Structure 1
Amino acid sequence: MAPVLPLVLPLQLRIRLAQGLWLLSWLLALASGLTLFCSWHLLIQLWHLGTFLAPSCPFPAVPKVALAAGTVALGTGLVSAGASRASLDAARYPPWRGVLGPLLVAGTAGGGGLLVLALGLALGLPWSLATGLEEGLGAALTHYKDTEVPGHCHDKRLMDELQLRHHCCGRHSYKDWFGVQWVSSRYLDPNDQDVIDRIQSNVEGLYLIDGVPFSCCNPHSPRPCLQSQLSDPDAHPLFDPRQPNLNLWAQGCHGVLLGHLQGLASTLSSMLAGTFSLQALVLLGLRYLQTALEGLGGVIDGEGETQGYLFPSGLKDMLRTAWLQGGASQRPAPVEAPGEEAPPKEALPEA
């Protein structure tokens, strides 16, 4: 049975393989560290913006899986760096011979699987952000007034901080505030006729106005911020509704947050792809180095050439051997048939 992808490794090539593998292992550790940093940064951003993301949105799973994949890749890089360094010294290599096998299995199955899963989530789940932010921001606008309702006490503060920090207003534009009651009921005079008329004119009994909170105001505006009666052209002669950027933030928070989080996810997916490529190269080189040294008894500078390979036999032969071994282990042991009893001897007649 011929080995899979054999490679003849003379002495100089074995030494260069070990040295190059040591360098690649540290590059893998560096890439894994950057992946962990990007994952933590995205996770912290989602923690701050969790109020504006629907609970059913699966996107927060991306940084969590990426953290696990980066941790395994970091461990793989550090261990393979130690193993490749020790392989250059025949006295230091023997303790590593029992570590390389489990490392290759764990790095290929566990680390590679986690990296592929994290990369797939980072490429696929950002498309769910649009729906998640649509629902989350809509709920945040609706509960803006509920400063005394348990569970929504901080929604007003968080929404104001979001609009001030990201220079956005409303969900898609400042007009989104016209369709929700964002003024708390405790600030409304129930005896005021204007308040009564506005509440009675709405089907849901809400106090709706054509105004926005102060956090929508652009501090770089050349004039004082106009927050109320924005749809009335006669109320503010100098206000041009076609140019809200002169007075209010023009962008909606949905587009700003969507671009921000998708940009972080794109950076994370690039780091995951680079980490996966480096880990594949490290595990491939480590396998060739391991099989080559096993042929020399663990001595890298042994005499003669040796052969490195991925598998000791072809895939068909490996599957056939495993099948035969599995069938032999499940086949019951043969039971010996009881021997036939000899017929009784007839008594000889007496003379």
Structure 2
Amino acid sequence: MAVLRVKFTKGQRDKLAQMLWLLNWVSVMTGIILFSLGLFVKVEFSKKEELMADRDFQPVLNLLIAVGLIACIINLLGGKICYDCVDTNKFLRWKLLILPYIICSFFFTGCMLVGALMCYSMQEELQESLAEGLRDVMRYYKDTDSPGRCFLKHTMDLLQIQFQCCGNRDHRDWFHIQWISNRYLDMSKREVVDRLHSNVEGKYLLDSVPFSCCNTNSPRPCIQYQITNNSAHFNYDYLTEDLNLWKRGCHQALVEYYTKLMHSTGSTGLLIWLFELSILTGVRYLQTAMENVLRQGDPESESDGWLLENSLVETARNNFNILKNLGKINQIDTATNGDPNIDKPSTAIYGLDNVPSKTMPVAS
């Protein structure tokens, strides 16, 4: 029994073909949107790749870009097929191609769904990657003379200014690392030498932060040195001076930014997936309705369309039997190893036991 059988008149078939032609062209535009969005997110990840640990997010983004590009090509072909399906004679050109087209489109929409869902599932991995990456960048902030690390100070300062953040979790992260290079420390001062010797690892630690942590909305000049020392500054209280530094950590700022990007991309992918699935359903109905018209031989007659010619269980059983029989054939061919002296198996094994045999005519 056919699944979701629908009866179509000649006018309804024509309207369905015209509507699918229009929807395929709209879907070309959605494919361009998905391609552009995936490319934009890829560029944004590339801009901050030095802030991320060794985790590769590119396969997900490449999948979205590829899916968007393939969507344009598939829907261009689908639009041409639906446009020709108005005429029965033109439909004959595509008759053998439509079913492979539907199968390929079905797997393509599956890839689109996988890519959209992966945009939601990578948040935890993104958080860990940014936490490790930011920790490493802050550790090498002072190494402005080291090859391969000289740009990290500029990267971190620009990040804190653009995203209005400070440190990894908050501004206190700078208290636990030496972010001032030894090149700029005056070793002639006993205070500097004592501070270096007081640390087990020989680091110059201060309750201070880089200038890029300063809040531009602060009504007073930024206090970035001796932040926790109230007596070092006039009319200053470390616990209540909220406008002096950015309070939000850069990890939180970046996670929120990239999560918003990925969720927007994933939502767009899901909407496009539903749209593509509706088009694919319409193409399937049009294909089966036009094939039934050809069987009837009257282009003006009514015809039935369906998604599956048999029930889902029966279709799965038939496909399973086909695969099982193919497996038996492979086992028999392997066992014989091409030996012509070994008798061939009965046709019943292949499911051909009901095929009538041809007998040779007896000579008179």
TM-score bracket, shorter-length normalisation: 0.7 to 0.9
> Which of 181, 184, 206 is residue 184 of structure 1 equivalent to?
181
What CA distance in whole angstroms lies between the structure 2 residues aligned with 1:290 and 1:180? 68
How is 1:183-222 mapped onto 2 (pairs within 5 angstroms)?
A: 183-222=180-219
- Contact preservation (8 Å) 1:80, 1:282: no
Q: How many residue pairs end up in the alignment?
A: 333
**Residue identity in the other structure for 1:214:** F
2:29 matched to which residue of 1? 30
What CA distance in whole angstroms lies between the structure 1 residues aligned with 2:219 and 2:297? 75
2:162 matched to which residue of 1? 165
What CA distance in whole angstroms lies between the structure 1 residues aligned with 2:110 and 2:7? 30
- Contact preservation (8 Å) 1:5, 1:310: yes
TM-score w.r.t. structure 1 length?
0.86
Q: Which has the higher contact order (CA 8 A, sep 6+)?
A: 1
What CA distance in whole angstroms lies between the structure 2 residues aligned with 1:301 and 1:234? 97
- Contact preservation (8 Å) 1:104, 1:287: yes
Distance 1:11-1:130 versus aligned 2 partners, 3 A rule: same
1:306 matched to which residue of 2? 303
1:326 matched to which residue of 2? 326
Distance 1:7-1:55 versus aligned 2 partners, 3 A rule: same
Give the alignment's Cα RMSD to 1 decimal: 2.5
What CA distance in whole angstroms lies between the structure 1 residues aligned with 2:125 and 2:297? 52
Task: Give the unaligned 5+ runs of structure 2.
Answer: 334-339, 345-364
Task: Give the unaligned 5+ runs of structure 1.
Answer: 337-351
Q: For 1:8, what is the secondary structure of its paired residue?
A: strand
What CA distance in whole angstroms lies between the structure 1 residues aligned with 2:213 and 2:196? 24
2:69 matched to which residue of 1? 71
1:87 matched to which residue of 2? 85
Distance 1:246-1:180 versus aligned 2 partners, 3 A rule: same
- Contact preservation (8 Å) 2:3, 2:308: yes
> Which of 212, 216, 222 is residue 225 of structure 1 equivalent to?
222
| CA-CA distance at 1:41 after TM superposition | 1.8
- Contact preservation (8 Å) 1:31, 1:271: no
What CA distance in whole angstroms lies between the structure 1 residues aligned with 2:297 and 2:127? 56
What CA distance in whole angstroms lies between the structure 2 residues aligned with 1:48 and 1:316? 48
What CA distance in whole angstroms lies between the structure 2 residues aligned with 1:243 and 1:75? 60
What CA distance in whole angstroms lies between the structure 1 residues aligned with 2:216 and 2:12? 66
**Residue identity in the other structure for 1:311:** L
TM-score w.r.t. structure 2 length?
0.84
Deviations 1:203-233 (A, max 9, x none): 1111111111111112332222211111111
Q: For 1:296, what is the secondary structure of its paired residue?
A: helix
Deviations 1:294-324 (A, max 9, x none): 2333999812112222333341552265247
**Residue identity in the other structure for 1:67:** I
Q: For 1:128, what is the secondary structure of its paired residue?
A: helix
Distance 1:5-1:329 versus aligned 2 partners, 3 A rule: farther
